[in-house]
Amino acid sequence: MHPTVAKLQHKLIVSCQARADTPLHGPRFMAAMAEAAERGGAGGIRANGAEDIRAIRAVTQLPIIGIDKRLDPQGNVIITPDLESARRVVEAGADLVALSCAFYQRPSLPELHTLIREIQDELGVPVMADCSTLEEGLWAAEAGADLVASTLSGYTPATQGLHQGPDLELVADLARQARVPVVAEGRIWTPQEARAALEAGAYAVVVGTAITNPTEITRRFVEALL
């Protein structure tokens, strides 16, 4: 197992991302978020784009899962589409690269295998496969991913709108069948859900919105008062 992957076992990874149209967008805020997460005991950070990653690297030694989110030609989000985007996040300080492995975006197993091998061999970092189904997770593990994650469940044509909360069934299925560690990610809102993800077999848990998006956190409280 790669030493970076070993460091993440049973850890909370905090996703520090803020879209360009939100008030906390920008490397200064994301670095502060990462520092705050580390003070709270996070074992890793997930971050988007070279600028944010560089700023986060300057304030923490925690492992950083780097991504480069873009739109594909159909207007769907694609996470770290190619080797060049992976190279930029690694040069900025990421220790691990995550990339989307949804079938509709990566239909060729040999191409996915080549991309994963290039990231591992040329850039020297492990790869996490962001998936939406069990089949995609098994496919990505076969293609050589070091970790598979439930990140895209609910966000691909195959799974859109299927889940309200975290897809712990997918986490459990992957944990039973994939031969690599499984990361639970997506719509984890409470510490109890994070714990349940570990109990379902997750190796590590990523939480974003519930920790780093004050607008959504506020909205939940406001809705509770209606």
Ligand X SMILES: CC(=O)N[C@H](C=O)[C@@H](O)[C@H](O)[C@H](O)COP(=O)(O)O
Tell me the three-class secondary structure of 115-139, residue by residue. Answer: HHHHHHHHCCCCEEEECCCHHHHHH
Work out how close the CB of 192 gets to ligand X at its nearest, in angstroms, rounded to a whole number. 15
Q: Is 80 in the site for ligand X (CB under 6 A)?
A: no
- Buried b or exposed e, range 197-214, using 16+ CB within 10 angstroms: bbebbbbbbbbbbbbbbe
Site residues (CB under 6 A) for ligand X, limited to 162-201: 185-188
Smallest gap from Cβ 55 to ligand X, in A, equals 17
> In angstroms, rounded to a whole number, what is the distance separating the alpha carbons of residues 116 and 129?
9
Site for ligand X in 107-136 (CB under 6 A): none
Stretch that binds ligand X, among 2-10, 34-42, 54-62, 151-159 (CB under 6 A): 151-159
| Closest separation in Å from C-beta 214 to ligand X | 13
Cα separation, 33 vs 10, whole angstroms: 21
Measured from the CB of residue 196, what is the shortest distance to ligand X in angstroms? Answer: 14
Q: Is 17 in the site for ligand X (CB under 6 A)?
A: yes
Strands 69-71, 77-79: pairing kind: antiparallel
C-alpha to C-alpha distance for 102 and 105, rounded to whole angstroms: 6
**Nearer residue to ligand X within complex by CB, 21 or 121:** 21
Residues within the interface to ligand X (CB under 6 A): 15, 17, 67, 77, 151-152, 155, 185-188, 206-210
